[in-house]
Amino acid sequence: MTPVAKTERLMMLPSDQDMSGRTFGPEERKYVEEVLASGTLTTTKGKFGRLLEQKFAEKLGVKYAYACTSGSAAIHIAVAAVNPNPGDEIVTTSITDMGALTPLMYRGAVPVFAEVDPKTLNVTAKTIEAVLSERTKAIIVTHLFGNPCEMDEIMALAKERNIPVIEDSAQTFMAKCGDKFAGTIGDIGCFSFQQGKHMTTGEGGMVVTNDDAIARHMFLYINKAWGYGDANPDHYFMALNYRVSELQAAVALGQLEKLEECVANRQRTAAMLAELLKGIDGVETPMIANGSTHVYWKYCLTVDDTKIDGGSVGMANLLKEKNIFSAPRYIVKPAFMCQVFQEKNTLGDSHFPFNLARPEAVDYSMDKYPATAKALHDVLVLPWNEKYTEEHVRYIADNVRIVASKLRK
């Protein structure tokens, strides 16, 4: 047999889309069987929904947690708790999931996009401050890729202006920001249990808060605003049914028990990769804010195309030949360049709520966002998950190094 160089071998990396990169096991199976045996699948009657919420709140060190059907639902519930008037503005980020944006329009709020720091792709106090106005009703910060925003500065700004902060922590479970966890620092935190997130039930989500009044509103919003447990319950306001089932709660509970281990594994292998990628000119590993930890939903490189021919796209094309399926430029274009924003396709032909907006707040053009353009141009998002071993990490590192040297200008 001819010896094959290690790097010429094709390796299959674990994927978060199937069992190779997911951790379902006897725990989830046991809980799901218990739910089925009980015959009670609604969380209004079963025990798993409540238990999940209690354990999730405990783990994150927060007073209230409420399960809901998705990360998008979580954002919708959070925005509803802020209760904007039609035409009020909510500041968000140019680089995020559409599920973090459409709920704003459903609530009549106008999304105003803050620039990002091209090194982290996160918003900062400075980029948020630049777009605040008299009409700003809330700020949504997104902790992208598992890397927390600089929350001290953001919270100081928000407190000074008395504006509530919603943290979109869908990609960031159990990341430390000082002595707290990302998602528990602002007024409301939102999480997603979608297939590819740190813990998953296929689809699902969670909202958290320490505020009694916000908690009450969010509980009601998940439950058609029906006052469960009240002396004279009624449907108090306009709200949807965003409840999960006991089956989802059972799976989530099993996943939650493994969350620290999942995060620790991702961090351990990510540290290994950072070490192995040291000193490749033109390829940078993630920047982490002071006092924070990164929980590596994905592993982001930034690629300098003045040094590497073809930049992030060039590298991704060659890495693909090695079964390393990265996402160069992540979402490719900022959220506001999507058709829904460009054509303002919302309710009927009203363009609501954009028809109520200050024109300068909804001037969604690329040339106003040079840092976002630069960030997306340079970023190369490597898939990451808790089943990676040292062998996988070495395989990725070796190939990144080879590809970078092949493309060196």
Ligand X SMILES: *Cc1c(COP(=O)(O)O)cnc(C)c1O
| Sole binder of ligand X in the list 99, 103, 148, 286 (CB under 6 A) | 99
Show the 3-state SS of the chain: CCCCCHHHCCCCCCCCCCHHHCCCCHHHHHHHHHHHHHCCCECCCCCHHHHHHHHHHHHHCCCEEEEECCHHHHHHHHHHHHCCCCCCEEEEECCCCHHHCHHHHHCCCEEEEECCCCCCCCCCHHHHHCCCCCCEEEEEEECHHHCCCCHHHHHHHHHHHCCCEEEECCCCCCCEECCEECCCCCCEEEEECCCCCCCCCCCCEEEEECCHHHHHHHHHHHECCECCCCCCCCECCCCCECCCEHHHHHHHHHHHHCHHHHHHHHHHHHHHHHHHCCCCCCEECCCCCCCECCCCCEEEEEECCCCECCHHHHHHHHHHCCCCCCEECCCCCCHHHCHHHHCCCCCCCCCCCHHHCCHHHHCCCHHHCHHHHHHHHHEEEEECCCCCCHHHHHHHHHHHHHHHHHCEC
Window 27-66: contact mask with ligand X (x via CB under 6 A): ----------------------------------------
Name the segment binding ligand X (CB under 6 A); options: 164-172, 281-289, 329-337, 379-387: 164-172
CB-closest chain residue to ligand X:
71
| Sole binder of ligand X in the list 23, 94, 122, 142 (CB under 6 A) | 142
Site size toward ligand X (CB under 6 A) is: 14
CB nearer ligand X, residue 96 or residue 223: 96
Q: How far is the CB of 156 from ligand X (least distance, A)?
A: 23
Q: How far is the CB of 205 from ligand X (least distance, A)?
A: 5
The reply on whether position 201 binds ligand X by CB under 6 A is no
CB nearer ligand X, residue 164 or residue 205: 205
The reply on whether position 97 binds ligand X by CB under 6 A is yes
Q: How far is the CB of 31 from ligand X (least distance, A)?
A: 21
The reply on whether position 71 binds ligand X by CB under 6 A is yes
CB nearer ligand X, residue 140 or residue 277: 140
CB nearer ligand X, residue 77 or residue 215: 77
The reply on whether position 192 binds ligand X by CB under 6 A is yes
The reply on whether position 92 binds ligand X by CB under 6 A is no
Q: How far is the CB of 72 from ligand X (least distance, A)?
A: 3
| Sole binder of ligand X in the list 124, 171, 223, 248 (CB under 6 A) | 171
Name the segment binding ligand X (CB under 6 A); options: 67-75, 79-87, 119-127, 375-383: 67-75
Q: How far is the CB of 309 from ligand X (least distance, A)?
A: 31
| Tokens coding 23 | 């951790």
Which residues contribute to the site for ligand X (CB under 6 A)?
70-72, 96-97, 99-100, 142, 168, 170-171, 192, 194, 205
